[in-house]
Structure 1
Amino acid sequence: MKNHKIYIDTSKCIGCELCIKNCVAHNIKKHEDKAKIILNDCVMCGQCAAICPKKAIKISGYDEEQIEKLQDVRLDPNAILDVIRYRRTIRQFKQDRISKEVIDQILEAGRLTHTAKNPQDVSYIVLDKEKDQIEKLAANLFKKVKPFADMLSPVAKNNKINDHFFFFDAPLVILVLAKSSINGLLATQNMEFVSEAHGLGVLYSGYFTMAANMSFKIKKALKLPKGKKVAMTLVLGYPNVKFLRSTQHEKIDVRYM
């Protein structure tokens, strides 16, 4: 993250204490009926600037301005449940091009996702021109370890490793990188929702994610930043298959205490 600093314009502050009550770092106090920052060493989550009714709080160092919330936005819970209910992993893709506008929206969903303690440590690699080359490196790795996997798992024997084993000839792959896997997976889930909204099919390639984090060759080819790993691999394309109904699930296991 860039260096940021919190500023409070005391001429605008009305001493309402909303920022104080909402500060997760307990880093704001009231001084002479005005809000005052205690230390400039906090998580920089921006909650104080977002909640201030008078726009008295600003955080420096960002390239974008805050966007005013003009109305409450509420999603239809039944529609969301249906998206989840009928969502299937796609392994058959059309070769139709995905527009840059759609890709940008998917990436924006990841960028806007919250991160634990606000490190904003998630970044992305969009595999396009080098997709097949990178996938082949992973295929070569899996071909070497497959004999050992076959001895341990009957299911592994049924898998044939070819050059499209990981991405299924999909037109686009996005690697979600993060220092914290949790932050990367949170971003990935929101990216999937936007992808689904655009009619795209989605595959989470856990196999490629594993290969990318194991192989020095793949890490070097991807130029993975130091300290980051591939949290998840999103394989995207317009589906060339249509599912007609939901799949069955076990009863929920929940306890109320």
Structure 2
Amino acid sequence: MLNFTVNEELCIKCGLCAQDCFPGIIELDEYPKITDEQKCFKCQHCMAVCPTGAISIFGIKPEACTPLKGNLADEDALASLIKGRRSVRAYKPEPLEPERIQKLLDVAWHAPTGVNSRCVHITLMDDPDSVKRFREEIYDRLEDALEKGVSEIPYVANLFKMVCLQMKENNVDVLFRDAPHFIVVSAPESAPSRAADMTIFLSYFELMAQSMKIGTLWNGLLKRVIESILPDMKERLGIPEDHELGYAMLFGNPAVKYQRTAERGEARVRRVEW
């Protein structure tokens, strides 16, 4: 049940909810009503666009939502956030507070997905002791696997030999960077736009983390370890068998502080006329 309700005292019958409904299932019959619940995308556009806050859906009332007027970041602040984002490769050992992690995840969960499928699967390891044990097992098994020559791809084998060597000889944790937390995202192979959905989710996660002064690092190495060398880790992490791995991301309190944005000049654009 969508639990679509209209406060008749507030509704001004402007029709904006019907106009903005992508599947076209809202019609005005004196007051707005949904004609086919099965076709609803669950996007909540009807509630978001209503100028008077007359529409509620899924039991969510407009007063439970954040008004956009006066609460959006201005363009310069957002530009600084995006340009000031850095890949963090040094972390403090202290874990983040659980409520901060939950807020970060809850906000990133609002990232757009194809046809609002919201099928991105988040695998989180937030206990630093678990991360430490997981890291130690990965390095032990990775070194053993490479000695047995399990990787059929020379580039991958050479890359991870370097990773293991850095840890063994220099105690440099190239794989996890001593971060106290990490997530891995996956999505069902049947999802309509799984690759884009997973990348968009992590991008939103990263930018929200930046705003919270939380460091992040895109971790393609861990993804490659699981996919190419230690595939049983996928099941052990609880990632469904029919899921495609997206990417991994480390996060935690950064041990480095950047002072200014990077500047990369104007975007390279090829303008096309038809």
* Residues 131/182 of structure 1: CA separation in 2 closer, same or farther (3 Å cut): same
Among residues 222, 237, 241, which one is paired with 1:208 in the alignment?
A: 222
In 1, the alpha carbon distance for the partners of 2:231 and 2:248 equals 17
The residue type paired with residue 248 of structure 2 is: T
How far the C-alpha of 1:18 sits from its partner, in A, is 0.6
Per-residue CA deviation, residues 147-195 of structure 1 (Å, 9 max, x unaligned), is 6688448983882324843211111112234332322222212221222
Residue matched to 1:144: 145
State the partner residue of 2:130.
130
- Which of 115, 118, 123 matches 2:116? 118
Change (3 A) 1:26 1:157: closer
**TM-score, normalising length: structure 2:** 0.75
Q: Does 1:34 align with 2:31?
A: yes
Show structure 2 runs of 5+ residues with no match: 189-193
The worse-fitting range, judged by mean Cα deviation, of 101-110 and 60-69 is 60-69
Secondary structure at 1:35's aligned position in 2? strand
Aligned mates of 2:244, 2:76 — CA distance in 1: 35
Q: How far apart, in 2, do the equivalents of 1:219 and 1:153 lie?
A: 18
Q: Matches of 1:248 and 1:9 in 2, distance apart? A: 49
* Compared CA separation, residues 198 and 29, structure 1 to 2 (3 A): closer
Q: 2: CA distance between counterparts of 1:57 and 1:134?
A: 47
Tell me the CA shift for residue 19 of structure 1: 0.7
The structure-2 alpha-carbon separation of the partners of 1:62 and 1:55, relative to structure 1 and needing over 3 Å to count, comes to closer
Q: Does 1:176 align with 2:181?
A: no
Aligned partner of residue 160 in structure 1, secondary structure: helix
In 2: Cα distance, 1:150 partner to 1:104 partner: 38
> What's 1:5 paired with?
2
Residues 8, 58 of structure 1: 8 Å contact kept:
yes
Match of 1:156 in 2: 159
- Name the CA shift for 1:100/1:85 in 2 (closer, same or farther; >3 Å): same
Identity in percent: 23
The reply on whether 1:58 has 2:56 as its aligned counterpart is yes
- Structure 1: stretches of 5+ with no match in the other structure: none
Matched residue type, 2:48 = A
Distance 1:183 1:154, change over 3 A: closer
Report the 3-state secondary structure (helix = DSSP H, G, I; strand = E; otherwise coil) of the residue aligned with 2:202: helix
- For the residues of structure 2 that align with 1:65 and 1:132, how far apart are their CA atoms? 43
2:237 paired with 1:236: no
- Root mean square deviation of aligned Cα: 3.5
Structure 1 residue 217 and structure 2 residue 232: aligned?
yes
TM-score normalised according to structure 1 size: 0.79
